[in-house]
Structure 1
Amino acid sequence: MATHDENSQYESILAQLKSEMNNLRREVQQLTQATATSAEEALQLSQVAKSGEWGPEMQQAAELVANGIETWDSLFSGRSTNSALLKSAMQPNAAKYGGELSAKIKADPVPHVVD
């Protein structure tokens, strides 16, 4: 049989765990919101992709977004089977800007600080 002190201790631990879980949920929600494509960004992506400037795969991706089949977030997340459409546009940019971005991240590894 647990004593009153042990019950209080367990209740305290449980309260701390619940508090930490709530903190983690808030943090996940903030990160999700911070990485979501804004309406303005989605519009810009769609306009440039539809123009053909980024190639036929990106045009196809823009059509999927325009038809409501995909969102830019689902495509960029890699969870979609259509995410591969972005590869042809992303590889040249990774080669062109990857080193610069990597250096910025290493110089200032705090999330949401890299311009």
Structure 2
Amino acid sequence: MVVGYRYFLRRLAEMMDSRENLTTRTIADRLNMRQDEFRDLLNIMEKKGDIECCIENAAGCDCTGDCKGCSRVCAGPELSSRSMNMKSYKLTDKGRALCGEQALN
């Protein structure tokens, strides 16, 4: 397990709950991490099932950010010129439980 895993998960949850649209660079800076380290941490969190990656069509996205558990935390400049898809992440119920928060119902 990554040292401080729960700490980083909690910090990420706080940023997600703020509903700011953040890039990986901004989040990494706020966590005092290099961008590549933060991306590695995101991959670990996703594989463990604590966060979930959502691919959204940036051009015609139906999501307003109001759906339950949606953070609209942008995964950075992951926009593809062909598809205009954007990655975002949201905390899963498992991730919220690990943070010591109640699971979303």
The question of a shared fold, defined as TM-score above 0.5 by the shorter chain, is answered with no
Normalised by the length of structure 2, the TM-score is 0.27
Structure 1 or 2, whichever has the larger Rg, is 1
More strand by share: 2
Which structure's relative contact order is higher, taking Cα pairs within 8 Å and 6+ residues apart?
2
More helix by share: 1
